[in-house]
Chains A and B, each alone.
Chain A
Amino acid sequence: MNVAAHSELRPARTRTAQWATPLAAACALLLLAATAEIVLDGAVGHSPLIPKSPPIAGWLSGIGERLGFRVFLIAVLAFAAGYAGLCALGRSVSKRWAIALIAVLHAIVFLGPILLSTDVFSYIAYARMGVEHGINPYQHGPIAIAHDPVYHYVGPDWKLVATAYGPLYTLLSYPFAPLGVEGALWGMKVLAMLASAGTLALVWRCARLRQLNPVTAILLVGANPLYVIYCLGGAHNDLVMLLLMMAAVSLTFAGRDAPAAAVVVVGALVKATVAALLPFMILARRSRRQIIGALGALGVGLLVGLLAFGVDGINIVAALNRDAAFVSTDSFPNEIAHLFGKPGVFPIDHDLLKGALVVIVVHLMWRTWRGYDWVAASGWALLAISVTSTWLLAWYILWPLPLAAIARDRRLLVATLAVQGLFVAHQLTPLFAPVS
């Protein structure tokens, strides 16, 4: 480029930089307004988007109006637009402002009601089954404690279903059981909040180690609409899994292979999905310490699970097989079945999807063996699991996001955000065709 052209471009760049900060501020305000709208309207209750719950957000209930699909979807779209703008302008956002924005978003959601999912009541029910009633949550569903106050809040689909979560998560939830339903609910919210803060701190650290912009990285994760509204709003235990996943990545970056592999196994004993990281980590590092660390953690974890819950507590394969048979309307296989004129997913489709997943994972393992970024490979595997799953929930497509934010292959980030965008787009029907 010649000097004249360079000097012409400079004022344009300066003008863009001048606009970047106010634009980023406007995007941040959009995020805050959308979150506040959902939380304040949700606090009113009597909405299909807000599960039955003890009145933890009753003091907010006089401000908003009953949350309907239309307002909720518009708020989510506004949030997504603000998020896209903020991530694009990530370099113009200071570290302090990014952290403050994410902290305020977390605080708003923390003070509000449980959003969109009854899962947190299942966590509490399983904990109360074990602690208060002496019933093994791996053998019985919450219906076994139909007289317990939490039973009233458990989702109708899950009343007969034994827990599918790992034994370490169940043990982690046990201290909340004696606090009563409301106390346990606040406990779960605090746990989700702390897990999220830890995850974001580790995303920051890993991004810096990889010489990526850490501000953009934490905005990508901590200001993501599905992360804030769906995952944090529902106090989902996926946040604990993400924390352990990022701890393992961070430890690997620090060259601590044995603890890293052990943490992946601990994560898998919280929620099995995170085990997808282990083969890629091992293929990339090729260290005996990883095998020793993983086997040691697996031995201790299984022993603890066995002593606490018996064989059912460590039979994770059975729980995964059971959940894999479920079909949700939002799952991509279900949408593809509709596209080809089928009413839904058939058993043969489950086998085809499993076959496709195996092919993808084998290809990724081969690529990792030949030097491909193992963090990206792990992210692709998690994305493939969520896309091929017939039981897809919003928080499942968050699994690859922290890895995508720090991966060397930026295609993973584009693909993850695109899949999230399609998930949100699939929710939009009530905007075009409301049912009165």
Chain B
Amino acid sequence: MSADATPLKRGWQRLPPGLRPRDADQPGRGRLWRVETIVLLLAGLLLLIATVNDVVLSAHTNHRLVADLRTWRDYTGHNYKNVSAEQDIRKYTTTDVVCGNTTPGPPKERIQLCLQVTGPTVDGLRTARGGWYLPPKAENLHRYRYGCFGPPKRDGKCTR
């Protein structure tokens, strides 16, 4: 402790022994050290499990995304690179919407075909249950959709 702390030090001596400051930790690994170590190990275990779980979840999502893109290409017969997939971020279902141009061109610059893709991945593909069209340069919003087919038509996903 520094020299100017002496008057302060005298003040600390009035505190009960259990509350007085110490200049060094107690030697050895006491009970508190063991409790801290156990808490740290448990916290580390939680972080480890959470990390592994997140990596597995992300890997499943990526596999699903790859299957979605393959399904769109397989269904349309177009091997386009710029195909976009949207996940259901409202209800967290595994039904995804995959959109891509119907004719060659820059992303979203042509009429787009969107497919509602669902179900398990079999041989790298999922099931396209239906879909709709979007005009060029339009986002996948209810007001732009037209020509619905399959279950989206029944569910009123299109305005036209």
Residues from chain B with Cβ under 8 Å of A285 in the complex: 1-2, 5
Residues from chain B with Cβ under 8 Å of A288 in the complex: 4-5, 8
Is the pair A415, B44 in contact by a Cβ cutoff of 8 Å? yes
Residues from chain B with Cβ under 8 Å of A182 in the complex: none
How far is A369 from B44 in the complex, measured between Cα atoms in Å? Answer: 26
Q: Smallest CB–CB gap between B160 and chain A, Å?
A: 33
How far is A255 from B5 in the complex, measured between Cα atoms in Å? Answer: 12
* B interface residues, tally (CB under 8 Å): 39
Within 8 A of B (CB), among A279-298: 283, 285-289
Is the pair B1, A287 in contact by a Cβ cutoff of 8 Å? yes
Q: Which interface residue of A286, A332, A334, A369 has the most chain B CB atoms within 10 A?
A: A286
- Considering the complex, give the chain A residue whose CB is closest to the CB of B58: A429
- Considering the complex, give the chain B residue whose CB is closest to the CB of A340: B50
How far is A243 from B49 in the complex, measured between Cα atoms in Å? Answer: 34
- Considering the complex, give the chain B residue whose CB is closest to the CB of A334: B54
Is the pair B44, A373 in contact by a Cβ cutoff of 8 Å? no
Binds A, one of B23-31, B105-113, B141-149: B23-31
How far is A339 from B21 in the complex, measured between Cα atoms in Å? Answer: 41
Which of B47, B49, B55 has a CB less than 8 Å from the CB of A429? B55
Is the pair B63, A433 in contact by a Cβ cutoff of 8 Å? yes
Within 8 A of A (CB), among B45-62: 46-55, 57-60, 62
Binds B, one of A120-128, A167-175, A346-354, A417-425: A417-425
Check B22 for interface membership: any CB of A closer than 8 A.
Answer: yes
How far is A367 from B26 in the complex, measured between Cα atoms in Å? Answer: 11
Is the pair A371, B55 in contact by a Cβ cutoff of 8 Å? no
Residues from chain B with Cβ under 8 Å of A428 in the complex: 55
Is the pair A422, B2 in contact by a Cβ cutoff of 8 Å? no
Check A411 for interface membership: any CB of B closer than 8 A.
Answer: yes
Check B40 for interface membership: any CB of A closer than 8 A.
Answer: yes
Is the pair B21, A286 in contact by a Cβ cutoff of 8 Å? yes
With A287-B4, A288-B8: A429-B53 Cβ-Cβ less than 8 Å: no
Residues from chain A with Cβ under 8 Å of B8 in the complex: 286, 288
Which of A255, A289, A343 has a CB less than 8 Å from the CB of B92? A343
Q: Which interface residue of B5, B65, B69 has the most chain A CB atoms within 10 A?
A: B5
Residues from chain B with Cβ under 8 Å of A415 in the complex: 40, 44
| Contact count band on A | 35 or more
Residues from chain A with Cβ under 8 Å of B23 in the complex: 371
Which of B4, B25, B49, B52 has a CB less than 8 Å from the CB of A370? B25
Is the pair A429, B2 in contact by a Cβ cutoff of 8 Å? no
How does the 8 Å CB contact mask read for A396-411 relative to B, with 1 for contact and 0 for none?
A: 0000000000000001
How far is A66 from B26 in the complex, measured between Cα atoms in Å? Answer: 56
Q: Smallest CB–CB gap between B60 and chain A, Å?
A: 8
Is the pair B50, A433 in contact by a Cβ cutoff of 8 Å? no
Residues from chain A with Cβ under 8 Å of B69 in the complex: 436
Q: Smallest CB–CB gap between B97 and chain A, Å?
A: 17
Q: Smallest CB–CB gap between A378 and chain B, Å?
A: 15
Is the pair B5, A286 in contact by a Cβ cutoff of 8 Å? yes
Is the pair B59, A411 in contact by a Cβ cutoff of 8 Å? no
Residues from chain A with Cβ under 8 Å of B49 in the complex: 339
Check A430 for interface membership: any CB of B closer than 8 A.
Answer: yes
Q: Smallest CB–CB gap between A290 and chain B, Å?
A: 9
Check A426 for interface membership: any CB of B closer than 8 A.
Answer: yes
Residues from chain A with Cβ under 8 Å of B51 in the complex: 332, 335, 422, 425-426
Check B37 for interface membership: any CB of A closer than 8 A.
Answer: yes
Is the pair B57, A371 in contact by a Cβ cutoff of 8 Å? no
How far is A415 from B1 in the complex, measured between Cα atoms in Å? Answer: 29
Check A387 for interface membership: any CB of B closer than 8 A.
Answer: yes
Closest 4 pairs (CB-CB, A-B): A371-B22, A433-B62, A335-B50, A429-B58
Which residues of A are in contact with B by a Cβ distance under 8 Å? 255, 257, 283, 285-289, 332, 334-336, 338-339, 343, 367, 369-373, 387, 411, 415, 418-419, 422, 425-426, 428-430, 432-436
Which residues of B are in contact with A by a Cβ distance under 8 Å? 1-2, 4-5, 8-9, 12, 21-26, 32, 36-37, 40, 44, 46-55, 57-60, 62-63, 65-66, 69, 89, 92
15 A-B residue pairings within 8 Å (CB atoms): A255-B2, A285-B5, A286-B8, A286-B9, A287-B5, A288-B4, A338-B54, A339-B53, A343-B92, A371-B21, A371-B24, A371-B26, A422-B51, A428-B55, A433-B62
Known: A285-B5, A286-B12, A371-B26. 11 other contacts (CB 8 A): A286-B9, A287-B1, A335-B47, A338-B50, A367-B32, A369-B21, A370-B25, A371-B24, A371-B25, A426-B51, A433-B62
